[in-house]
C-alpha cells in the first residue's frame, strides 16, 4: 500500500534556475571555493574534537540529540556561506515541512552527488544517516557521527535492528536507496533494506527528489576540483509510502516511482 496522495509542501517540479548560468570558475571563484571547503573542514574538525567531550559529559539521550543537532548546524552554516558568496544556490526549504513532524520517518532520497546528505541533514536536526563503516574512522566525521548515533552500513541485520530502533524512538532515518551516487540516470537499481525497515518499524517512507545539473561531486568528481559556478541544487518532496508487509514489492514500486519522477 502507498499513500501517494500525501505530498506535504510539494515543490515545483522544475529545477530552480538562477539569473546567472553556471560558468567556469575564475581566479576569484577558485579562491572562494578553497575558502569554502576550508570552512567546512574546520567546522567539521572542531565539532569532532568537541564530540568526545560531550559524549562523556552528557547523558546518552541528550548527547544523541545534541550530536544530531550539532551536525545539522554545521552543514546549515556551510550552505548559508556558500549561498552568501555566490558559489551555490540551494533550494531545500521544502524539507522544513518534515522538521517538526512527530514520530519516526524514513526520508528516502535519490543520490546524484556527495552533497546530498549535507543538504538533507542541514534541514532535519533529528536526521540519522546510515554511513559507510570507514567514515566512522574519519577525523572529520567519526566522533560526531558516533555521538549522534549514526548507523554503520556493514552490520547486516544489526544495521536493520539499529535503524528500526531509531525510528521507534522518533528519529528521522535518512536513506539513499541506490546505495551509492547515481551512475546510470535517472537512478541506479535500489538496494534491498529500506522497505523491510519501514515494515518492521511501521514507519512511512517520505520520498525526496534532489535535482542538480552541476557535475560537482558526482561519481568520479574530486572534492577539491572547483566546479562551474554557481552550483544549483533543488529539493522537492514527493509521495509518501506506507509500510507494506510485502517489502520486496514495495521496493519495486518505490524504485519505479523515483524513476518516473526524475525522468519528467
Long-range contacts at 7-10 (CB < 8 A, ≥ 24 apart): 7/237, 7/238, 7/239, 7/240, 8/97, 8/98, 8/206, 8/237, 8/240, 9/94, 9/96, 9/97, 9/237, 10/94, 10/236, 10/237, 10/238
Q: What is the pLDDT of residue 21?
A: 82
Strand runs labelled E in 186-230: 205-212
Respond yes or no on whether the N-terminal peptide bond of residue 230 is cis (omega within 30° of 0): yes
Residue-level length of the chain:
264
The residue assigned the cell 534491498 is 192
For residues 235 and 10, give the distance between their C-alpha atoms in angstroms, rounded to a whole number. Answer: 10
Residue 66 and residue 177: Cα distance in Å, rounded? 27
**pLDDT recorded at residue 15:** 55
Binning pLDDT at 50, 70 and 90, where does residue 19 land?
low
pLDDT at residue 25 greater than cutoff 90? yes
For residue 144, whether the previous peptide bond is cis, meaning omega lies within 30 degrees of 0, is no
Residue-range domains of the chain with CATH: 27-263 (3.40.1130)
Q: What is the DSSP letter of 85?
A: T
Count Cβ atoms within 10 A of the Cβ of residue 134 and give its class: 0-12 exposed, 13-18 middle, 19 or more buried: exposed
Residue 110 near residue 258 (C-beta atoms within 8 A): yes
CA distances to 112, 212, 216 from 221, rounded to whole Å, are 12, 14, 6
- For 31-90, what is each residue's pLDDT tens digit? 999 999 999 999 999 999 999 999 999 999 999 999 999 999 999 999 999 999 999 999
Residue 26 has pLDDT above 80, yes or no: yes
Residue with cell 541544487: 233
| 69/148 Cα distance (integer angstroms) | 8
**pLDDT (tens digit per residue) in 208-249:** 999 999 999 999 999 999 999 999 999 999 999 999 999 999
Q: How confident is the model at residue 92 (pLDDT cuts 50, 70, 90)?
A: very high
Q: How many CB atoms lie within 10 A of CB 264?
A: 8
Lowest mean pLDDT among 76-85, 131-140, 159-168, 252-261: 131-140
Contact 189, 254 (CB under 8 A): no
Cα distance from N-terminal residue to C-terminal residue, the chain = 24
Helix/strand/coil for 193: coil
Amino acid at each position: 500500500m502507498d499513500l501517494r496522495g500525501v505530498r506535504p509542501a510539494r515543490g515545483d517540479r522544475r529545477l530552480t534556475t538562477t539569473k546567472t548560468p553556471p560558468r567556469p570558475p575564475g581566479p576569484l571563484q577558485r579562491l572562494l571555493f578553497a575558502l569554502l571547503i576550508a570552512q567546512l573542514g574546520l567546522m567539521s574538525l572542531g565539532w569532532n574534537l568537541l564530540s568526545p567531550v560531550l559524549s562523556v559529559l552528557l547523558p546518552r539521550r541528550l548527547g544523541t540529540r545534541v550530536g544530531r543537532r550539532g551536525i545539522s548546524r554545521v552543514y546549515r552554516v556551510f550552505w548559508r556561506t556558500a549561498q552568501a558568496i555566490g558559489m551555490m544556490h540551494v533550494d531545500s526549504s521544502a524539507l522544513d515541512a518534515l522538521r517538526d513532524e512527530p514520530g519516526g520517518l524514513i526520508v528516502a532520497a535519490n543520490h546524484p552527488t556527495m552533497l546530498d546528505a549535507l543538504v538533507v541533514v542541514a534541514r532535519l536536526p533529528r536526521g540519522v544517516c546510515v554511513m559507510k563503516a570507514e567514515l566512522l574512522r574519519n577525523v572529520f566525521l567519526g566522533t560526531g557521527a558516533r555521538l549522534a548515533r549514526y548507523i554503520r552500513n556493514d552490520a547486516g541485520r544489526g544495521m536493520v535492528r539499529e535503524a528500526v530502533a531509531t525510528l521507534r524512538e522518533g528519529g528521522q532515518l535518512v536513506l539513499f536507496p541506490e546505495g551509492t551516487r547515481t551512475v546510470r540516470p535517472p537512478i541506479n537499481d535500489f538496494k534491498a533494506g529500506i522497505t523491510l525497515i519501514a515494515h518492521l518499524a511501521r514507519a512511512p517512507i517520505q520520498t525526496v527528489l534532489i535535482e542538480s545539473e552541476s557535475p560537482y561531486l558526482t561519481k568520479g568528481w574530486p572534492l577539491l576540483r572547483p566546479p562551474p559556478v554557481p552550483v544549483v541544487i533543488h529539493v522537492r518532496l514527493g509521495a509518501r509510502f506506507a509500510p507494506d508487509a510485502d517489502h520486496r514489492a514495495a521496493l519495486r514500486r518505490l524504485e519505479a516511482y523515483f524513476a518516473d519522477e526524475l525522468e519528467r
